[in-house]
Amino acid sequence: MKIAILGASKPHLPLYLKAKELGLETYCIAWAEGAFCKDYADHFHDISIIDKEAIVDLCIREGIKGIVSNALEPAVPTMAYVAEKCGFNGISYSTALKATNKVKMRRCIEKHRACPQPHFEILNESTYSIDTFPVIIKPSDSSCSNGVSKVTCQEELDVAIRNAFSASNQHEVLVEEYIEGKEISVESISFHNKHYILTITDKETTGAPHFVETAHHQPSQLNLDLQKKIKTYTNNILNAIGISNGAAHSEFKIDADGNVYFIEVGARGGGDFISYQLVELSTGYDYIKGMIEVALNQFTEPNINEGKKSGVYFLSKETSKIKSFIEENYKQPWMIDYHIENKPLIELTKSQDRIGYFIYQGDHKIIVNNQ
């Protein structure tokens, strides 16, 4: 059976290896420059992952039976469009547009009353007036914390708005009520509109002003009643947006009183190794296999075993102790993988500023003191 895979950078290698393990004939679709995975595919096509019509033509011509990608936001609308045109299993194109645009997403959640969320409004670049602080300024269509800022006063506003507009392909920016609290995400997979919650991820971030993620841990240490509420909200959100098939990564904040607020959802697995490694390390569920099965309309219900703890820490100027921690512990059996680039440590304004990481799996959460 033939499957198309969008994206070919090194982090996506597990998708190609799993497809090969399943005996599938793989078609790698990506620009040639930086296409690390092309040598792991049966066929390579130098096509932009956003060139929807060219990919439709390829799938029809080659008799491909499904299309898949993961943790790659620009691929979401293409996957949905191609699935609709070719009769593959997936989400609708209109759903994909809602899932990749924070304005459409907020309005949809508001319309369906799916979950409490921050108050929001859409900004016009030339005329705007904000009198209440703090707020979050963010592009409607970016990922990896690009263009996101917390603004605490009028003097910070102009720079934050310029940065957000410059990071938005659609030239659209949101201003949102700032929610102080803990950040978590919910990792799920859906098939024919039935949703399976796989695990909840506890997040660590730099905090204001850019909130770049510095660590993830699974499973969550939240109390079970709160987890139950979050899972209910996640089901509501997936139904409201229309994410009926495939992986999803839903983000929330929880304030000091235990109130849960929806932040955003991606119709894809979470980045930062969450979907490619952490979910399977903590639950035993082969998430990548599940994504491929959904794409081919051949799905096996997940069997979850939360017997292990897993997580990832990222190296930056704010987390400089991670480097020495890796050097001291890289031979430990719980250290699954690590990497340090030969670059100077810099302060984080976006995820791409991080220069290293380590991934762990064990019987307890690994705690690194960055102080």
pLDDT tens, residue by residue, 119-166 = 999 886 666 778 789 999 998 887 667 888 889 988 888 888 888 888
Predicted pLDDT of residue 103: 92
Cα-Cα-Cα-Cα torsion 113, 115, 116, 121, nearest 10 degrees, comes to: -70
Domains of the chain: residue spans and CATH: 2-88 (3.40.50.20), 119-177 (3.30.1490.20), 182-362 (3.30.470.20)
Q: What is the pTM of this model?
A: 0.93
Radius of gyration, alpha carbons of the chain: 20
- Separation between Cα atoms, residue 115 and residue 107, nearest integer Å: 12
- Separation between Cα atoms, residue 287 and residue 285, nearest integer Å: 6
Q: Which two tokens stand for residue 139?
A: 């592009």
- Separation between Cα atoms, residue 160 and residue 156, nearest integer Å: 6
Residue with tokens 């959640």: 109
The dihedral built from the CA positions of residue 37, 11, 263 and 114, taken in this order, carries a sign that is positive
Residue 341's identity, in one-letter code, is E
Find the angle CA(351)-CA(202)-CA(106) to the nearest 5 degrees: 70
Cβ proximity of 204 and 214 under 8 Å: yes
Reference 201, options 301, 272, 146, 284; nearest CA is: 272
Q: For residue range 30-80, list pLDDT tens digits in order.
A: 999 999 999 999 999 999 999 999 999 999 999 999 999 999 999 999 999
Q: Which two tokens stand for residue 104?
A: 């459409």
Mean per-residue pLDDT over the chain, rounded: 94
Q: For residue range 204-261, list pLDDT tens digits in order.
A: 999 877 789 999 999 999 999 999 999 999 999 999 999 999 999 999 999 999 999 9
